[in-house]
């Protein structure tokens, strides 16, 4: 296994950081490494808001459901899917640009995720720790107001970056046999059952907040309650009509 793959396999979320700040030149280097990721038709449908204002970081920590590491990490970024820039560029080049297609929502969301994951790999290669913040979608309109996001731009997730001040185990993943399927989709309940058993052992043995649960049990609140049921109306109101 080469050192890059070892780095990828060593990923775990970090939520406690030292006071050490990331050098601005390094942050810029991470974003550029992010931009090197593949992008659909070269559209580069993303923008990244670097939230420096401490009061705004406190507000975002609350809006994301009380995740205080948003305020305490070295740098907090909000990754936005951005169809405004390419649509307006196409218009200036003479196009009668259509907006609001479902395909455009997918392209921009995927472009943003590919870019962010490269930022994460680059960050971890420099000894930084990271934590994605999906909670930014708890209150996406308030986040959009705070960051003055225009129409056709929406916040997909946040990212905490900093020098780690905690150690934690790598969290297990589903067996590769469940994920990788030969030629056709196949049922993977047997692998899920085995994974549930191994996750129960993991939760009982891990160094902090031990509990008696499985992967499947942990997922129930995600499906029993409608999680972020506002997302559809929010996206439509921001010009992502899902046409």
Q: What Cα–Cα distance (Å) separates residue 107 from each residue in 6, 81, 169?
A: 30, 9, 33
Q: Residue 64 in contact with residue 133, Cβ under 8 Å? A: yes
The residue among 176 and 207 lying less far from its own copies, judged by its C-beta, is: 176
Q: What is the C-alpha R_g of the chain?
A: 20
Q: How far is the CB of 211 from its own copies (least distance, A)?
A: 13
The residue among 125 and 168 lying less far from its own copies, judged by its C-beta, is: 125
Site for its own copies in 21-60 (CB under 8 A): 27-33, 35-44, 46-53, 56
Site for its own copies in 223-242 (CB under 8 A): 223-229, 231-232, 235, 242
Site for its own copies in 160-199 (CB under 8 A): 170-171, 173-174, 176, 178-185, 188-189, 192, 196
Q: What token pair was written down for 6? A: 């070892």
Q: How far is the CB of 100 from its own copies (least distance, A)?
A: 10
The residue among 68 and 196 lying less far from its own copies, judged by its C-beta, is: 196
Among 16, 62, 68, 147, binds its own copies (CB under 8 A): 147
Q: What Cα–Cα distance (Å) separates residue 145 from each residue in 75, 87, 104?
A: 20, 21, 22
Q: Residue 109 in contact with residue 200, Cβ under 8 Å? A: no
Return the closest-CA partner of residue 124 out of 3, 2, 20: 3
Among 4, 23, 142, 190, binds its own copies (CB under 8 A): 4
């Amino acid at each position: 296994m080469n050192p890059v793959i070892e780095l990828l396999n060593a990923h775990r979320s970090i939520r406690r950081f030292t006071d050490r700040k990331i050098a601005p030149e390094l942050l810029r280097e991470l974003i550029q490494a992010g931009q090197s990721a593949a992008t659909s038709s070269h559209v580069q449908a993303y923008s990244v808001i670097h939230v420096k204002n401490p009061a705004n970081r406190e507000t975002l920590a609350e809006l994301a459901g009380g995740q205080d590491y948003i305020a305490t990490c070295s740098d907090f970024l909000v990754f936005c899917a951005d169809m405004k820039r390419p649509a307006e560029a196409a218009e200036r080049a003479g196009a009668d640009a259509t907006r609001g297609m479902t395909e455009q929502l997918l392209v921009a969301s995927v472009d943003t995720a590919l870019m962010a994951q490269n930022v994460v790999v680059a960050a971890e290669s420099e000894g930084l720790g990271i934590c994605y913040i999906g909670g930014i979608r708890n209150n996406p309109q308030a986040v959009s107001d705070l960051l003055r996001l225009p129409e056709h731009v929406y916040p997909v997730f946040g990212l905490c970056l900093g020098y780690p001040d905690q150690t934690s185990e790598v969290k297990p993943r589903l067996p590769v046999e469940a994920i990788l399927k030969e030629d056709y989709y196949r049922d993977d309940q047997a692998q899920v059952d085995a994974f549930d058993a191994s996750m129960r052992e993991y939760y009982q043995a891990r160094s902090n907040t031990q509990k008696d649960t499985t992967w499947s049990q942990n997922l129930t609140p995600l499906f029993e309650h409608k999680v972020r049921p506002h997302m559809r109306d929010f996206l439509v109101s921001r010009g992502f009509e899902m046409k």
